[in-house]
Each structure stands twice: as C-alpha cells, then as structure tokens.
Structure 1
Amino acid sequence: MDQIKITIVDDHLLFSQSLSFLIGSFKEFAVVGNYGNGKEFIQALATADPMPDIVLLDVNMPIMDGVETMKWLKANRPELKVIALSVNDDEDTIIRMITNGAKGYLLKDTHPKTLYEALLETHNKGFYYSEMVSGLLVNQLGNHGNKVTLKEREVEFIKLACTEKTYKEIASGMCLSPKTIDGYRESLFQKLEIKTRIGLVLYAIKNKIVAVEK
C-alpha cells in the first residue's frame, strides 16, 4: 500500500519539524513537503511531484495566513484535503476555515493519537470534525427521526450564520432586531438539537444549504 502523502504549512520551524518527525513514525503516512506560509505553499503546488493527499495548514502565518490560503485553495484546488491547525479554538476562525473548505480543525496541543485518527479519517472519509469542534454535533446532525422542516427565513439565517458576519450584522442584513435574531438562533438550536454556531455551519454543509467543495 502506498503511503498517504502529507504536506505541512506552518511558519514555526521547530513545530513543523517536530510534526514531520511524528508523522514519519506513522507507517501509513509520509511527509512530502514543508512550507513556511500559504504563498510559499501555493507557489510550490505548480510543480509539486508528488502532490499531497492531505495538507496540514496553520491558521496564523505571516505573508499569507490559513484563511486566505483556504480561500485560494477552494477556488483553485478544491480537491486538496486540508486540516487546519491552530493554537486557538475561536469559533469564528473555525467557521471561516470550515466554510472555506477545510475538512478538519485541530488544536496544536492535540494528542498524537488524535492526529493519527484525523489523518486517517480525512483520507478515508473526506473529513474529520473533532469533539473540540463539534462536540456531539456530527452524530446529532444525522439522527433526527423526522426530517426537519425549515422556514424560508430560517434558511436565510443559517446561510448568513455560515459567513463571517456577526449576529448584529445578520440582524441588519435581514432587517430584523438583534432580539429577533437571538430568537431565530435559539429556536434553531433547539429544533436541530445543536448548541453552537459551529453546529449550524456543520448542519448547513451536511444538508447542502451552503455549498462546500467535497
């Protein structure tokens, strides 16, 4: 069996080298590239041989960060499977990375076993949403006994929740009061059996309310 090829994009050299060493200890995987920022990685893609199967992409980098890199990849190389890496579990950042095509999101202090599982599941299933990102959401999203019926305005709200807009900006865009938007949010959380905005994003992706490349 051919090894699964991994590319690391991270500006911290010590972390990148340590991660390479760790991945090298997994027999199924091989690191085929290390780059210090998104621009360097994108330039290298033009002549990359072999192409990576999975990209581990740091969110916070100089010159071209993870979000901007994901936007470029979504538009130009959507077939690449990317797992975002970060020291932060900020909800807005997670949403931005996922809605721009990231197949997973891991904190940098993740246990090696979790990293191994994330790489394997991303390769085999096409995505990996850890408990940190989704809690029990991945299981919950597909477990409704009956199909949930959403009103047109609820769908509109979910679509806007999948953007970088704040709830206040969503309220303005829908010509509603922030209090009404809070009502939409809480009602949907209860109806969809989710607890966070990330849950709305994952629900929207799973049910193709928003378009995300596979």
Structure 2
Amino acid sequence: MDKTIIIVDDHKLFAQSLQILVNSFEGFKVIDCFKNGEELVKYIEDGNPLPDIILLDMRMPVMDGMDTMAWLKENKPDQKVLTLTVDQEDETIIKMLRLGCRGYLLKDIEPEEFEYALNAIERNGYYSNQTISDALSHEERKKKYEELTERELEFLNHACSELTYKQVAEEMFLSPKTVDNYRESLFGKLGVKSRVGLVMFAIKEGIYKI
C-alpha cells in the first residue's frame, strides 16, 4: 500500500507540481493539498485520516509552518513532517527540529534526494543529509558521546535552544571566545559543520528531548 502524503503550501503551482512529482515516486501518493496550516488543522480536527508524512512549507499566510508544527507537536506529536521551504536560516531549522520536524529540505533540492528523504523518514523516522548520516553511524555516535566533557554536553544542550552563541556564553558564564572554542571542538569531535548538525546529533542521542 502506498504511503500517504499531504502537502501544505500556499503556492498553488508549486504544490501541483510537487503533487505530480511525489505521485511519480514508487510507494507514495498525495491524498490532499492545503494552502496553510489552518486548513490542515481543520482537516485533522474534522476526524479525517492522518497521512504518513506531511510536506510543510514555512512561509504561508494565516498559519505558517512554525505555528503549524507547534500545533502538531501539541496535538499529534507522532505525526511525521518533512519541511520543504526556501527558508535556510539556522535558527528556523533548529526551531523546527525542536518542534519535532523529521527533516528539513530546501525547495531547490534534486528530485532524487527528495525521494531519498521521504523514504528515510518512512524507514528511520528522520532524515539528515548524507554527510551527517554517515558521520553518525551507531558505533561512531557512541564513541563520540563518551568523549564529550560535562561542559561540552552543557554547551550542546544550549546549542539546541533558541539562544544565540553570545547568550549561551552568558548562560555558561564564559567569554564568547571560549564558547567559540567549544563549538569548534564539537564540530571536530562529532564530524559536523553547522549548528544544525549539532542539534541532529543531540536529538538522535537523546541528549536533547524534543
């Protein structure tokens, strides 16, 4: 049986094209499209069946992606959501991950990687890019976790919050330079290149609970 998909995106032409693309993937079928989160919420509250995966845009009128994800976390926390957007700000991505989003893609993604992401979410429960996935194999993750100091773990938890690095420094009673050193040290130890990579590691290892 095909895995069901709902698209939430206010750009009608893009949503229609996305529907055609998804339906061309083996094992996936779009069952509905909505222009914003409010329409999705109404659909769910009316008792309609939940899809296997929701494809969620960020910038929408009435109820945007962030508000929609917050509602889903509160009311349907097990719902799998893949964000598909043009918004690539680290802060936005981190907030969406903290709200339980299972993956985050930009709209200029290649169709092959998009299909891979859908299958990864359905199979593993989440999607991260290949570099992060390779770096965080089970044995490597266990070893890297054991190597982290208490202060590095403290910094990692703060990195999963909405605090800026400057605010993290204040929370930890450290200079911004010292916090930068913690960040670069963790990048090296965990094999990641961004704050998003740190958050993905923390979520997968249960260091940070969403």
TM-score, normalised by the number of residues in structure 1:
0.89
1:11 is paired with a residue whose SS is coil
Are 1:73 and 2:68 matched, yes or no? no
Are 1:137 and 2:136 matched, yes or no? no
Are 1:205 and 2:200 matched, yes or no? no
Match of 1:22 in 2: 21
The 2-side partners of 1:103 and 1:184 are apart by 27
Q: 1:48 to 1:118 in 2, by over 3 A?
A: farther
Say whether the 8 Å CA contact 2:58–2:87 is kept in structure 1. no
The 2-side partners of 1:12 and 1:57 are apart by 12
**TM superposition shift of 1:25:** 2.1
**TM superposition shift of 1:48:** 4.4
Are 1:125 and 2:124 matched, yes or no? yes
**TM superposition shift of 1:31:** 1.0
Pairing of 1:1-214 with structure 2 (within 5 A): 2-131=1-130, 136-142=131-137, 143-144=139-140, 146-147=143-144, 148-212=146-210
Per-residue CA shift, 1:32-90, capped at 9, x if unaligned? 11111112211211124332110000011122211221122112211110000111332
The 2-side partners of 1:110 and 1:185 are apart by 28
Per-residue CA shift, 1:101-159, capped at 9, x if unaligned? 1111111122222222221221122111134xxxx122212353835332222212111
Q: 1:192 to 1:119 in 2, by over 3 A?
A: closer
Unpaired runs of at least 5, structure 1? none
The 2-side partners of 1:167 and 1:63 are apart by 32
2:147 is paired with a residue whose SS is coil
Q: How many residues were matched structurally? A: 207
Backbone CA RMSD of aligned residues: 1.7
Q: 1:57 to 1:171 in 2, by over 3 A?
A: same
User: Which AA in structure 2 matches 1:137?
Assistant: I
Q: 1:141 to 1:27 in 2, by over 3 A?
A: closer
The 2-side partners of 1:210 and 1:170 are apart by 16
**TM superposition shift of 1:197:** 1.1
2:77 is paired with a residue whose SS is coil
**TM superposition shift of 1:6:** 0.2
TM-score, normalised by the number of residues in structure 2:
0.91
User: Which AA in structure 1 matches 2:162?
Assistant: E
